Structure 1
């Protein structure tokens, strides 16, 4: 029998004696006999009540879209040397095309999140992916560097909008005790889009030229648009009517009505000016600010740093060809992330469930932070790679690859834990949380291209990478404090954000 059906069939009757009333309410329980969080409605079209297969299909589509954006952005990375020859520019100058993508990928969700909260996730997924596809293809036809930069800017806007919707979609579909696993699937795709790209881009650039590094991701995105047009339903669902006096009985909406934007349970409210700055208002909450600050450095130094510096360093130090550079910037990172996720999502769910069983069903978000110690693998990996690169005359490339793999093992753990923890803390603001995490990640990552290599050339790679490692360690300390005092801090009136309109 399906596990989720078992959960929803277990109902506990609870006496409500507030104000002297003796009314009763039904509470849906999970398979451990604990109350489900959040409580589902009684309607079949509530995404929490969807069939598990449909939920998984939506999760995989949202995750795939989160992978495509970074993959399309990073596919040209191994071809930076070829592009520098084509445009008569330095490799560092060529890397700015990735920088401009990162900037606008951070801006995109700020513009689209209010529309997603008002009109649904589906329109943003469709339009954002279509814009990213068209601009990737257009970049392949550009003969001027200005054209490349303009298309990368619009590509960032489109791809960034789809990337930022994933965490909110997971929260729409799953109960708190399930989110670690499925948030882990989403973050695994999100993190590894940029790691798959060099594997594709290295061989494509060597065989078909640098333009194909833009064409191929673009056509993949166009194919994905066709699939999601028919297979990705709306997940935003307003329960504002529940318990209200209505003269019209509820009618469950069909799958096709959902695809045709006819869902009556989506708020459908036009955004107001203040909605566009709502994500930044979340920064008053330390349970968002501390993890977001840690996450941006983890992602920047644990992933983007390798992508931005790898083409030059491995070509110069080890004489790598373009395909070899692509393999180096892909395989170690993919292996590290896969091992990391095997130690993250389900582990945080287990920690959350264990705390709930011992504390009368209380779902404490901070219980997930017991796994945040895995973040320390990022600075360890950075130090290993930095030392190996600084002694390239005596240490082979395998040492640097080993360090990159260790760093990404820690990165995947940190990413899953931070996404699961922050959305557990403030589920109604999941779209804003995902947006602010995306903004921090993208803006910080784009800045690395301006100082990483110059700093390394000035003080030495091993000391530069050591500095980056220490920054991560320092920013981990406030998150560790959240594990101890997070519940108390979140209960303070100043830490309660205003929920989005529904």
Structure 2
């Protein structure tokens, strides 16, 4: 991938490149050092505004990323496609459950166990990919992920026994489960906090397209080509993604390449870089983390951080409401309206459309609110080098946009349950699905953006922590929802799940009020420990 050629697209001028040579080690060591500066720290003076003591950048320094705007968009597009794979793989499998049960001569309960085991591994394994991606780099982690995924799909297409199916589904989850956390980390590598919302929305759009299209594709493949074709399709998709990735998608991890001006290790370069013969730039060095076996303990440490624990709890509740609608849509519409598998797959389209629109739209709203809050408190945004967010009301800038959307989503979710119980015209729940899709995915994408903002040194590990918390809660919720339907009916079941984010909404106020203080305390404690 070529670097910027236009000054407005992020290219370094000659004076700037000399500054980078002197300052890059201090400014881009985002994994090995201590501290909680949320963007590269600039030489600055302080301008007091109330009690915020906001930092203003005055001295020139290295830009946040030397990749051109076009290069950044291409890399983030590839990350979005990678993020599409994990949720797509989970739901494309559903239409094959009955055919697999019949062909392997086992019960549906045993086939459902392959779904449960997949979700468990999908929750746990990203913690290892996150740590690997934050130390070795995004490229090695993504290459390992897709390679495992490719061979698991080939095995699944060829297997004809239940034990092989169960084991290979676990391996398949081990392969694709890290792509979402790594996708968010790529955005953090390339884009400053002031513009991060819309790009995070693109990643979430890829995530939400998967569950939308996959049931339709799975139904078509299973009905016309047989269930093995589902796994052959997944294997082909992995190959189609891997080829351009290996050729031209460069390393972006800031612990490895800084702002992109430092070449990665020779083994971590694209074929284009190898053929071109990219050389080490004189005077530019970085203290890279030592390579080690991925350690999920780092993810657990993030989960139990004071501020993160509250953010993860609320984000997981939002994800729970999102996933129970997706997980129960098929069975509810079959029971209520007598739809076929293909018709049920088509019913996912309004839900998915709402999810995609909200993910992209909420990203632009996030960036707008960031600018609005910055202007309100007198904070000068530095889009070129990134902002020092230690004294910026980051939690307020992110979470202010969530509350009205959650109110609408909760009301719609409750109405959705009662409409299904009343067996209203199918158009009514489909419209309500679209509105639910507009509300919940965009809301927990905001939470994930905040999580990445708070952990610039380890964005993949932080995203993996979010993935672990929400997937485990989602797995528990989907296991619990069917008995709840039988016990109290659709209306009351969705009312209970809708009440959860409403009852826990004071957590958002606590995070906004106490989050900045907790960040400063953590920063002070880390500085004392140096």
Q: State the TM-score bracket (shorter-chain normalisation).
A: 0.7 to 0.9
Deviations 1:40-65 (A, max 9, x none): 636xxxx7111111111110111110
- 2:379 aligned residue: 360
CA contact (8 A) 2:135 2:255 kept: no
Residue 350 to residue 8, structure 1, CA distance change in 2 (3 Å): farther
Return the alpha-carbon distance in structure 1 between the equivalents of residues 187 and 489 of structure 2. 43
- 1:474 aligned residue: 503
Match of 1:278 among 261, 283, 298: 298
Return the alpha-carbon distance in structure 2 between the equivalents of residues 138 and 59 of structure 1. 30
- 2:336 aligned residue: 317
Return the alpha-carbon distance in structure 2 between the equivalents of residues 176 and 477 of structure 1. 25
Does 2:463 match 1:434? yes
Does 2:350 match 1:332? yes
- Cα displacement (A) at 1:340: 1.2
Residue 299 to residue 251, structure 1, CA distance change in 2 (3 Å): closer
CA contact (8 A) 1:99 1:449 kept: no
- 1:267 aligned residue: 288
- The more displaced of 47-56 and 85-94 is 85-94
Deviations 1:240-297 (A, max 9, x none): 999xxxxxxx985399973269987571512378x53112112343432222112222
SS at match of 2:269: helix
Does 2:402 match 1:372? yes
- 2:111 aligned residue: 94
- Cα displacement (A) at 1:418: 0.8
Deviations 1:212-240 (A, max 9, x none): 22221221112211221112211013489
Residue 321 to residue 427, structure 1, CA distance change in 2 (3 Å): same
- Cα displacement (A) at 1:405: 1.7
SS at match of 2:178: helix
Return the alpha-carbon distance in structure 1 between the equivalents of residues 373 and 13 of structure 2. 21
- 1:422 aligned residue: 451
Residue 197 to residue 496, structure 1, CA distance change in 2 (3 Å): farther
Return the alpha-carbon distance in structure 2 between the equivalents of residues 399 and 57 of structure 1. 39
Which one has more relative contact order, counting CA pairs under 8 Å at least 6 apart? Answer: 2
- Cα displacement (A) at 1:92: 5.5
Return 5+ residue gaps in structure 2 as ranges: 1-5, 20-41, 45-54, 381-390
CA contact (8 A) 1:106 1:440 kept: yes
Residue 53 to residue 305, structure 1, CA distance change in 2 (3 Å): same
Deviations 1:320-374 (A, max 9, x none): 111111111x201222113313431111111111222232326431211111111
Match of 2:132 among 102, 106, 115: 115
Matches within 5 A, 1:226-241: 226-238=243-255
Residue 6 to residue 127, structure 1, CA distance change in 2 (3 Å): closer
Residue 117 to residue 266, structure 1, CA distance change in 2 (3 Å): farther
CA contact (8 A) 1:41 1:239 kept: no
Deviations 1:432-476 (A, max 9, x none): 211101111222222233211111111111111111111122233
Return the alpha-carbon distance in structure 2 between the equivalents of residues 241 and 203 of structure 1. 45
- The more displaced of 91-100 and 344-353 is 91-100
CA contact (8 A) 1:118 1:266 kept: no
Match of 1:41 among 62, 70, 74: 62
- 1:253 aligned residue: 263
Matches within 5 A, 1:32-111: 41=62, 48-87=65-104, 91=108, 93-111=110-128
TM-score, normalised to structure 1's length? 0.83
- 1:291 aligned residue: 311
Return the alpha-carbon distance in structure 2 between the equivalents of residues 425 and 352 of structure 1. 15
Return the alpha-carbon distance in structure 1 between the equivalents of residues 15 and 411 of structure 2. 46
- 1:218 aligned residue: 235
Residue 214 to residue 475, structure 1, CA distance change in 2 (3 Å): farther
- Cα displacement (A) at 1:148: 1.7
SS at match of 2:447: helix
- 2:210 aligned residue: 193
CA contact (8 A) 2:200 2:449 kept: yes
- 2:432 aligned residue: 403
CA contact (8 A) 1:353 1:363 kept: no
CA contact (8 A) 1:298 1:378 kept: no
- The more displaced of 407-416 and 374-383 is 374-383
CA contact (8 A) 2:251 2:257 kept: no
Return the alpha-carbon distance in structure 2 between the equivalents of residues 481 and 474 of structure 1. 13
Does 2:402 match 1:384? no
SS at match of 1:71: helix
- Cα displacement (A) at 1:145: 2.4
Return 5+ residue gaps in structure 1 as ranges: 14-24, 28-33, 243-249
- 1:20 aligned residue: none
- 1:22 aligned residue: none
- Cα displacement (A) at 1:179: 0.5
